[in-house]
A and B are shown apart, each in its own frame.
Chain A
């Protein structure tokens, strides 16, 4: 990864009069952590990095902007926002364009072809966590952990994030600036997590999810981190009517998790952020990948690839064999 190229491109982008800021990754506060950063001027670009630790999907921040009422006479800041995206993240940008959650002229996409990121908890478990800031680099078919002057070569499969084993789009599907050559697609692993669940009977699946949803503490980190959970008026926040009670129990937790999964059917771009951030370790990826698999196999539709596509849940064909909708 050519950091110089990245920083040079970023500096040119943020220097533009019509750009508000660039959302990228920087080194975090300790260990393997990486944090999102908002770069407003050329001086800030020195902080930018792109490494196997850059797991977070920054496309979330495109719709997470809070708009407070403007003082009289003040104009809204309509400048563009630039965002760094990996292959999976770029699909969120496309899906947002499809849904008109954002407009093409408002974003500048900095595409980062991605050979796969690491699962930080796996890395910490196998190689120990540390307070000191450490670096992880791509190194052919392995990762290179640089810690205290020592370089440790880690086989790719040992610490690769699950979403990357299943990744079909390592290269950005949309970009205005590409910061390196595209990476080669790899052979796909079988999504054994989903297949194993599919093999269970209804009772077995119910038992599985009952155990999982019972763990939910309703912190809503999955909803908030999701680039495609951006409803201005979320049913979870509604009190009148109260669609989902504030009580935390299996029934309400299930209502919440299932509602979210359905709202994401045909929209989830499988970036895996929900599962990564869940403090209760609920395997949310499995539910969303199952929905994606259904939509792909039954309708031949894949979200987040074509900005001109019709949104899956809002499209209807007149020759649809089911007539209930008419």
Chain B
């Protein structure tokens, strides 16, 4: 796969080449960074840790219309899928997360909604030079320069970006913009390697998960669950902001005679999530829900798909209203083993 250099002076032109397509990139909206449609290079802020909401919605929108129908009529209409989408400036952890949730959407049934969208998305990554305070990707199989899930990875070398193609889609992007690019050289590669090594050493938080996937079932009734969930308020912040959380609900929504079946993100931290029609709830309190969140990520997913469903992006830690900290929970789990 090829690697090219893009001088930052050419950045507006580079972005201009891509804006012919549907282009989303990190944009500062209010105080928070979000992936949003952009029309020009100066709207994009690449000087950021992580976007507030992960870009998983590109393939797994928070609300997706599956089909439309009219009451009293059995004909259904499928909404047309949008055009191709380029996500520019995706952090390696978020791209890796997309490969992790894809395993679920390809599991016992190929989910047409997710897979169709995923195919339309091109992921242009941005390696991390400055990991965030609560980043721990390197503890859970990721890295500041992980290419998993990406089509192209950019490294910020100061005056220029080093662009490395990962897939054929990435190669195609390089080909399309080649008049703006120059060949990579040994100096650039050396600078990149140094940046990656530095970034790795700046990651301050770590998780030692050895023994946790196998050990979690034995801790089912451990008092630790009550302790770590006592202050949980049961909101969906940790799950909705998680790049690997993928639970959804399906509802019919009706307005007059117009109706649609849609699926929306759901959260295992909500009481309603496991509520049975009978009124019985097998996860009646936040203790069981918190236990499930950890088990799903560090036990069930490992068991089924051989990968931890947590990429160490730190969002759930950064934004939990009451400082429930997954690194701290895992430390206590490890201690209890």
Contact = CB atoms under 8 A, between A and B. Distances in A.
A66 B230 contact: no
A66 B234 CA distance: 11
A225 B327 contact: no
A35 B205 contact: no
A245 interface: yes
Contacts of A82: none
Interface in A241-293: 242, 245-249, 273, 276-277, 279-281
Given A68-B284, A279-B52, A279-B241, A246 B133 contact: no
What class of interface size applies to chain B in its complex with A?
35 or more
Contacts of B52: 279-281
B322 to A, nearest CB: 6
Interface string B38-52: 000000000000001
Contact of B253 (A30, A225, A247, A280): A247
Given A68-B284, A279-B319, A247 B237 contact: no
Given A129-B133, A220-B236, A247-B63, A29 B285 contact: no
B271 interface: yes
Contacts of A277: 235, 237, 321
Interface string B308-337: 000000000101011111011000000000
A131 B236 CA distance: 25
B180 interface: no
Interface of A: 28-31, 33-38, 56, 60-61, 64, 66, 68, 121, 129-131, 215, 217-221, 223-225, 237, 239, 242, 245-249, 273, 276-277, 279-281
Interface-centre pick from A33, A121, A224 (highest chain B CB count, 10 A): A224
Given A219-B236, A237-B271, A237-B272, A247 B262 contact: yes
Given A220-B236, A221-B237, A277-B235, A249 B63 contact: yes
A130 B133 contact: yes
A31 B327 CA distance: 14
Contact of A220 (B235, B241, B264, B319): B235
Interface string B173-192: 00000000000000000000
Provide the main secondary structure of the chain A interface: loop
Contacts, number: 115
Given A225-B233, A246-B251, A31 B272 contact: no
A61 B321 CA distance: 13
Contact of B29 (A35, A215, A242): A215
A107 to B, nearest CB: 18
B262 A219 contact: no
B95 to A, nearest CB: 21
B29 to A, nearest CB: 7
A31 to B, nearest CB: 7
A29, A66, A131 interface centre (most CB from chain B within 10 Å): A29
B267 interface: yes
B231 interface: yes
Given A131-B133, A277-B235, A248 B62 contact: yes
A35 B271 contact: no
Given A29-B327, A35-B322, A247-B262, A131 B205 contact: yes
